[in-house]
Amino acid sequence: MKGKRTVSISLILWALVSFSCAKSKPASEDDGKALMSAVAQFYAALNSMFTGDLELMKEVWSHADDVTYMGPGGGFQVGWKQVLENWEAQAALKLGGKVEAVDMRVTVGHDIAVTHNYEKGVNTNAKGERQELSIRATNVFRKENGKWKMIGHHTDLLPYLEK
């Protein structure tokens, strides 16, 4: 059931982004550069979160009611309040380590953009053991007040984080 739901959500997301990008003006080179800056900020925020610091994460995300998060621990959070609560719980784990985006594919429209990539790196599990990871990730950004803000993050599950 989860697999079908994930495929359905992914197809809906793909259709919405494709339609949005097709209907909007083509992205400018500046939009592409600004998006890549937002992506870099997200991964800096993610690595900062591993130390327990959420300030950068709060900056990179939209605080709208329609943001979504389907992270490596499972679940489906909708709205900034739920998303923030999940990030707070992860920050409290202080997993340490570092994760980076690898093999990224980018689609940029005028007001919405999507990245698909692997997240590779290392954290510690609940037992304090070093845990290498390599998961797939999809990130969705929307331009709000001239800045790219994350509105969706979806990854594979990590067994040591599942509840």
Whether 162 maps to a domain, the answer reads: no
How many folded domains does the chain comprise?
A: 1
Q: Which residues neighbour 69 within 8 Å (Cβ) at sequence distance 6 or greater?
A: 76, 77, 82, 83, 86, 87, 152, 153, 154
User: What CATH number corresponds to the domain at position 47?
Assistant: 3.10.450.50
First vs last Cα of the chain: how many Å apart? 18
Is pLDDT at 4 greater than 50 in this prediction?
yes
Q: How far apart are CA 127 and CA 111, in angstroms?
A: 43
Phi–psi pair at 110, nearest 5 degrees: -70, -40
Model pLDDT, residue 11: 45
Strand-pair category, 98-108 with 112-124: antiparallel
Is pLDDT at 13 greater than 70 in this prediction?
no
Structure confidence by residue, pLDDT tens digits, 102-140: 999 999 998 999 999 999 999 988 788 999 999 999 999
Is pLDDT at 72 greater than 50 in this prediction?
yes
- CA dihedral sign of residues 16, 22, 26, 29: positive
Residue 99, domain extent = 2-155
Angle at 76 (CA atoms; ends 150, 32), nearest 5 degrees = 20
Whether 35 maps to a domain, the answer reads: yes
Phi–psi pair at 31, nearest 5 degrees: -60, -45
Whether 163 maps to a domain, the answer reads: no
